[in-house]
Structure 1
Amino acid sequence: MKKSVTIISVAAAGAVAITGIVAGTRSNMASAFGPEDKVVGSGVLPGDRPHKPRPRTTPTISVPSVPPVPTRPPTTPTAQPTTESPTPTKPPASTPKPTTPAPGSFPAGPSQAPACTGVTITPDQDAADVVDKGQAGTTYCFAAGVHRISRTIHPKTNSTLGSDHGAVLTGSVPLTGWTASNGDWVIKGVLPAAYGQTGQCEDNVANVCYLREQVFFNGKHLKRVNSQDKVAPGTFYADYAGNAVFLGDNPQGQAVEMSKTQTAIESDAGGVTVRGLTVEHFATAPQSGAVVLASGWKVLANDIRWNHAVGAMLVNADGATLEKNLIQYNGQLGVGQYSTLNGTIKDNQVSNNNTDGFWIADWESGGIKTTWSTNGSVAGNLIKNNTGVGLWSDAYDDGRVFSGNQIVDNAADGIRYEIGRNGVIENNVITGNGLGTGRGSGRSLWDGGGINVNTSSNVQVRNNTVEDNVNGISIQSRTRGNGPWGLNVLRDVVVTGNKVTMKGGTTATGMVQNSGAVIPSGEVVLKDNTYVLDSLSAERFQKFGQWFSAGEWQQAGLDAGSRFTTG
């Protein structure tokens, strides 16, 4: 059933703007997250669930004030440490150490799937038709080869879609019949009618990230340009008004394909298993998945890659499991989750997503994003080299646990826990994140860090290794309006037992707040952490615009029992 979803954002200068009307299906996670310090509510999302309250109208909008610019403390501090080195109490001996897997120990993908015995589907068959005519509980085994999926496959209750390896489900079609045209190559009559924009692009001038039809040249993903005069080798231009595609490479004798079908696998039926498949080249709309999980699904050991928007989506997927998959090179986001109770995302490799240029800092691009979900976990995953946030909880997640993940070299925050509650972030290894943001972002605590807790309540951040990120741990209190639990506020955040390495530049750990979201005393506790710094005199800590060295930080009553060292 389709729904119209109004997406609200807050534009510059505090003006409220309607940014789009999205025609949504189950696969659409139509959230509305604009600039981090400007957005104060989320759009109405599809698929409201009875197990938790959901606002049925646009959330209350409250425009935040501009965050203050941090200032350095005066030359003569109010309290100077007596020595360069503070004298903290050692952390408790019982503090557990991170238990994340060693690098490279993430077996995933079709090679991990069990053998398939059942009804064979060959590449020359219409897979959707075969499954439509089958019975609930049937196991279908896709034979090795390329299966061109022209219609979404809708499995029935307790069915299995599997393969003995080598089966590729593709949403693309071959493009043949090219002609030379003024130094380029052109084919006509292959595009859909022009359609409106959804989503936000990193390049908000060209604004082409939302266009679904990708072109592949001998399997290589070509870069889209926004006019014919910019076409060059390795690029293509899609002229929707003229219904023509232009290439900069000679296609004669080459395999040229264009993504066309929007969704590979989706159904409301429960208890479905999908395993051992490669799913690629689907023309997924922004915030929509190539594989869309429902209640009780198990999506195991697949390679989900090169789809335009989201690789795998859990939507109203209570008790579903996404496990041991390779989820890579998708155009917007690797994994999305919406309105799900007790969903599990574990032991996946989620890497190199946001290939199509969605906004890096603040619009749902990158590795994994979950919203409006209760309980469940994201655990034991390798989340690496995504052009966006590594792991992001946003918009009324409740009781979520993020544990034992390796989160490495993502362009924005390693972990962001935003306008949620009752979260646990523990035993993760988080390194090299937040150093690749562009539009609308910088290097301050307002811009995030290895871990970013943003306007959330009752969040435990414990026993993580946080090393060489844009900042260490950023705790942010912003004016974010009202939600299903009342006013969105930062409360009861405990940061303990973490090892945080901060060296060079302006990297820091601490708290920021804007004037409409003051943090009451005692609501943020930092204790029993270990900090590895370039110098004990370096100002690596910040509270509400004031910078502190290690000694000054503890003299201000912060990080009791913590250790500060150099290395």
Structure 2
Amino acid sequence: MINRTHRINVILRWAGTATLLLMLLASINGLLLASPFVQSGTTYYVSPTGSSANTGLTTGSPWSLSHAIATVPAGSTIRMLGGTYRMGNFTITRQLTIQNHDATPVIMKGSIIIPNGEWIVDGSRWRRDNWTAQFPPPAWEGSEYLNPSFPYANYREQVYVNNSSLVQVGSLATLTSSSFYVDYANFRLYVGANPIGNTVESTIYNAAFTIDASGVIIRGITFMHYADAAIFITDTNATIENSTFTWNGIQGLRFNGDAGNVSGGIVRNNVFSFNGRKGFSGTYAHNLLIEGNTMNANNVENFNAEYDAAGFKVTWSDNLIVRDNISTNNTGHGMSFDIGSDNPDIYRNRVHGNTVHGILFEISQGADIVGNYVYNNPDSGIRISNSSNVRIYNNTLVNNGNHLRIYENNRSPQPWEVGATFVTENVRVHNNLQWNNQAAYNNRMSVITMWDYASCPNITPMFTSWDNNGYYRWSSSLLDYILKWQGSPAPACDDVYRTVAEFSAAVGFETNGVDVVNAVDPVFVNAMSENFDLAVCSPMLDEGIGLPSDLAAMLNVPANTTTDIGAWQTTVPCVPTATPTPTRTFTPTPTFTPSGLSLIGATRTSMTLAEGGVSISFNVFLTQSPAAGELVTIVPNIPSQYASQLTFTPANRKLDTSNWSTGRSFTFTAVNDTSPEAALNFNISFSSTSSFAVSLFNGAVGGVVATTITDNDGGGGATNTPTNTPIPPTNTPTNTPVPPTATNTPTRTNTPVGPTATPTNTFTPVPPTNTPTNTPIPPTATPTNTQPAGSVLIGASRTEMTLNEGGVSVTYNVTLLQAPPA
């Protein structure tokens, strides 16, 4: 039997009441004519062009999405066939699963395309009349949300021209070719550039879904162009997974518990990128599981970065599990836990390249912050502000403005800040690795700021324990501090400790800290390529205290046994090698520095190829890891007018979680034609596609290499060309190292500290008493190639070094990249 009592929950907004009435009547008609075999637990199919006249039971006879949401009973699954669905403002009032059908992308957009014929020329601008989609700022939002330089950020209209967003302005007088203006009084939309012949999309829906039922599942869908959040959740146990939220006005997803508890949700394996203010948020959203998500480049509207902008932010949300996420390049905080967000477990996340703090825990209590990689955040890596009962263990903190900032001020709770005490106390800091080689940050490590303690330093009120942490900086001469104790108001105290020993002597903590100063990093495998695995025999191995069972489970290590300092835990024992074997192979190491949003890098930035000359090979890599099981294909992009001038092998390279950071090589060769030509200068780049339908790597472009091709036919290129085919040598240079009489074994010296003579671990490398000597055996035959002028013929096994007066020496090999003549 047809269930005619289903409430129609589809709220549609469109230009004109007549159109709205027709659409509502069509939905009612479809409901009354629904097929008699609609039943719970059944799978139904929808498409962008589906019809209520179809059965909805096969891919060849799909319904429309609006008809399915209005019709199917609780427990049903709605599978969306691939395509773009320009619709929204649906309310889901019963338990449903809505997901993609197969690998064909499913995209829901809150915008419509404005046809060319609807634009009217208005002087030097263009307008669309009868524009009724208006999204002014919420009445409760104050000026504190805004950056004064972007006063219209919280007006939530959006316009895109050929997929590029325009900036909203507040008057016709300020309209430019890259902006738009909405005239609320006269219902007009203006753009400053000619829209004719271009694809212009503009937002008309506030959200895609409001979930007002328990247990709803949304998966495998891309959401774009919604004015506020693509999904609002107002009930319990929602699951949002394997979806992408991008270019939405405020955020991708919001757990909105202002009117009640929205506990028990799951946010898993999603991408939140390029949203207006933040990736997603939650209020009164208790017991959430947030795992495996990527929050990237949010706050494109340039809201106040220090107030409410973040990869994600929660308030009044207790008992969250936040693990294995990536939050990067957000204009604001990476992760923010604010006002009564008690007892979160925050572990195994990578939080980097955000413009303010990496992890902010504020006006809350009971956080466990364990095993995170937090780096390149210019304010603080981890900031604890007016919060208590926090355990900070085994985090790896690299090149942040301050790695740890533990803070308390004299702020008093406001009426809405229920339960907030604003007291920072009972903080435990153990086994954290703080690493800095940035002169811009003067090798700063940690800052403690507290209010109105007349006698400084007085660590007891704020901290229960602080020990077994590791500190590395490449030079002591640039060091501002290992730890700064900053009292307020001044001049209560402003004490600076430049070594672990000074800190320990002053406050009695950090008696087992590891303090390393060395121009050559002995701590990580390769910090500059973001490989923060501990090096073999790193001074941080086995220097951490054992963890209680709950924290040990977060790191997947045994409880109450010695750990390594930092997030990386190794089971490989330290077996020092006597002397490294010299090598004549020069292999540049990728030195990726986060720069904007590029996902592809190359180990070269330029190359010069000569017709008839040698080929050049280099590696192309990814700047962040693909997801588990994801395969990313990289291909070179050669400008079409130069495609006949060079060849490359292979045609593509495949990267995954095992090789993304080192990459794989391409080889480029200039085509040896017979036409005289001037030297050619152009750029090549690399683009990627993913084996996943929804991935940041689909359409990514990067790794630009400036390329020059010189001619050998008298066209202004190099005139010296190879005269014969290289003859391989009959023997190979052999390096015979002289074994050292002493190995370079790191040692620790126990230095008495203060009157109690507490040992402090200090790592001091001991140089070897002799060095390897390379004795090459010359080859009996040598190629007689002559390299084109300007080519690089000499390589070195290091690209930089720092020497300290009285410090250790630095040794490296210099090699030729081509054999000299006999």
Q: TM-score, normalised by structure 1?
A: 0.72
Q: How big is the shift at 1:208? A: 0.4
Q: Residue by residue, what CA displacement relative to the aligned partner does 1:396-424 show, whole Å, maximum 9, x if unpaired?
A: 01110111111110111000010111101
- Once the two structures are TM-superposed, the CA of residue 478 in structure 1 deviates from its matched residue by 1.8
**Paired position in structure 2 for 1:189:** 130
User: Are the structure 2 counterparts of residues 409 and 298 from structure 1 closer, same or farther at C-alpha, using a change threshold of 3 Å?
Assistant: same
Distance 2:454 2:237 in 1: 40
Q: 1:430 aligned to 2:374?
A: yes
- One of 348, 370, 381 as aligned partner of 2:293: 348
Are 1:514 and 2:451 an aligned pair? Answer: yes
Query: Residue type matched to 1:487 in 2?
Result: T
Q: 1:273 to 1:477 in 2, by over 3 A?
A: same
Residues 327 and 155 of structure 1, relative CA distance in 2, 3 Å threshold: farther
User: Residue in 1 aligned with 2:237?
Assistant: 296
AA aligned to 1:358 is: F
1:244 CA drift (Å):
2.4
In structure 2, what is the equivalent of residue 463 of structure 1?
394
Name the SS for the 1:458 alignment partner: strand
Aligned to 1:546: 495
CA RMSD of aligned residues (A): 2.4
What residue number does 2:276 align with? 331
Instruction: Report deviation, 1:206.
Output: 4.8
For 1:386 and 1:517, the matched residues in 2 are separated by 38
Whichever residue aligns with residue 44 of structure 2, its letter is V
Aligned to 1:149: 87
For residues 218-257 of structure 1, what are the alpha-carbon distances to aligned partners after superposition, in whole Å with 9 as ceiling and x for unaligned?
A: 2222222333333333322223234322223221122111
Q: Deviations over 1:433-470 (max 9, x none)?
A: 13xxxxxxxxxxxxx50000001110011111111112
Residues 491, 523 of structure 1: 8 Å contact kept: yes
Q: Give the aligned residue type for 1:539.
A: D
Instruction: For structure 1, list consecutive stretches of 5 or more residues without a partner in the other structure.
Output: 1-115, 435-447
What amino acid maps onto 1:346 in structure 2? E
| Residues 192 and 486 of structure 1, relative CA distance in 2, 3 Å threshold | closer
Q: 1:281 is matched with which residue? A: 225
Q: Does the CA-based 8 Å contact 1:292-1:313 persist in structure 2? A: yes
Q: Quick check: 1:480–1:488 contact (8 Å CA) kept in 2?
A: yes
1:562 aligns with 2:513: yes
Deviation at 1:346, TM superposition (A): 0.4
Counterparts in 2 of 1:484 and 1:366: CA distance versus 1, 3 Å: closer
**Equivalent pairs: percent with the same residue?**
24
Find the aligned partners of 1:413 and 1:241 in 2 and give their Cα distance: 41
Q: Given that residues 536 and 564 in structure 1 are in contact (C-alpha distance below 8 angstroms), is that contact kept between their aligned partners in structure 2? A: no
Q: In structure 1, what is the equivalent of residue 163 of structure 2?
A: 219
Provide the residue aligned with 1:500 in structure 2: 434
Aligned to 2:468: 528
Change (3 A) 1:474 1:267: same
Q: Tell me what 1:127 maps to.
A: 65
- Between the aligned partners of 1:462 and 1:376, the Cα distance in structure 2 is 18
Aligned counterparts, 1:166-315, within 5 A: 166-176=105-115, 177-192=118-133, 195-196=136-137, 198=141, 200-204=144-148, 206-284=150-228, 288=229, 290-292=231-233, 294-315=235-256
Q: Is the 8 A contact 1:163 1:277 kept in 2?
A: no
Per the TM alignment, residue 195 of structure 1 is displaced from its structure 2 partner at its CA by 3.7
Residue type matched to 2:255 in 1? L
Greater Rg by CA: 2
Give me the whole-angstrom Cα distance separating, in 1, the residues matched to 2:451 and 2:376. 27
* Residues 457/329 of structure 1: CA separation in 2 closer, same or farther (3 Å cut): same
Distance 2:129 2:319 in 1: 50
2:552 aligned partner: none
Partner residue of 1:400? 344
Does the residue aligned with 1:361 lie in a helix, a strand or coil? coil
Cα distance per residue 1:73-103 (max 9 Å; x no partner): xxxxxxxxxxxxxxxxxxxxxxxxxxxxxxx
Distance 2:67 2:301 in 1: 31
Cα distance change of structure 1 residues 150 and 325 upon mapping to structure 2, 3 Å threshold: closer
TM-score with structure 2 setting the length: 0.50
Deviation at 1:319, TM superposition (A): 1.7
1:316-395 pair list within 5 angstroms: 316-362=261-307, 364-395=308-339
Deviation, 1:386, is 0.7
Distance 2:191 2:96 in 1: 44
- Residue type of the alignment partner of 1:547: V
Q: Distance in 2 between matches of 1:353 and 1:510?
A: 28
Letter in 2 for 1:187: R
Match of 2:384 in 1: 453
Cα-to-partner distance string for 1:252-274 (whole Å, 9 max, x where unaligned)? 12211111211111222111111
Q: Say yes or no: does 1:490 pair with 2:424.
A: yes
Q: Give, in angstroms, the shift of residue 486 of structure 1.
A: 5.8
1: CA distance between counterparts of 2:453 and 2:262?
36
For 2:101, the aligned partner's letter is: S
Q: Is the alpha carbon distance of 1:162 and 1:491 closer, same or farther for their aligned partners in structure 2, counting shifts above 3 Å?
A: same
1:230–1:516: structure 2 CA closer, same or farther, 3 Å change rule?
farther
Q: Post-superposition shift, 1:497?
A: 0.6
The AA in structure 1 aligned to 2:469 is N
Larger relative contact order, structure 1 or 2 (CA cutoff 8 Å, min sep 6) = 1
2:322 and 2:349 mapped to 1: Cα distance?
A: 8
Question: Whole-Å Cα distance in 1 between the matches of residues 387 and 126 of structure 2?
Answer: 53
- 1 CA distance for matches of 2:511 and 2:174? 58
> Closer, same or farther in 2 for the Cα pair 1:516/1:271, shift >3 Å?
farther
Q: Distance in 1 between matches of 2:155 and 2:181?
A: 11
Amino acid at match of 1:169: M
In structure 1, distance between residues paired with 2:304 and 2:454: 26
Q: Does 2:113 match 1:163?
A: no
Aligned pairs for 1:21-60 within 5 A: none
Q: How far does the alpha carbon of each residue in 1:542-561 deviate from its partner, in whole angstroms, 9 at most, with x for none?
A: 10232221143232134221
1:66-145, aligned counterparts within 5 Å? 118-125=43-50, 127-145=65-83
Query: Does the 8 Å contact 1:231/1:237 carry over to 2?
Result: yes
Amino acid at match of 1:209: A
Q: How many residue pairs end up in the alignment?
A: 435
**CA pair 218-486 structure 1, distance change in 2 beyond 3 A:** closer
Aligned twin of 2:562: none
Separation in structure 2 between the aligned mates of residue 517 and residue 333 of structure 1, nearest angstrom: 40
Q: Is the 8 A contact 1:489 1:517 kept in 2?
A: no
Cα distance 1:336–1:559, how it changes in 2: closer, same or farther (>3 A)? same
Aligned equivalents of 2:165, 2:149: Cα separation in 1: 22
Aligned partners of 1:117, 1:301: CA distance in 2, in Å? 22
SS in 1 for 2:319: coil
The CA deviation at 1:333 is 0.7
In 2, Cα distance between equivalents of 1:430 and 1:163: 37
The one-letter code matched in structure 2 to 1:497 is: N
Deviations 1:379-410 (A, max 9, x none): 10111111110011101011101111111101
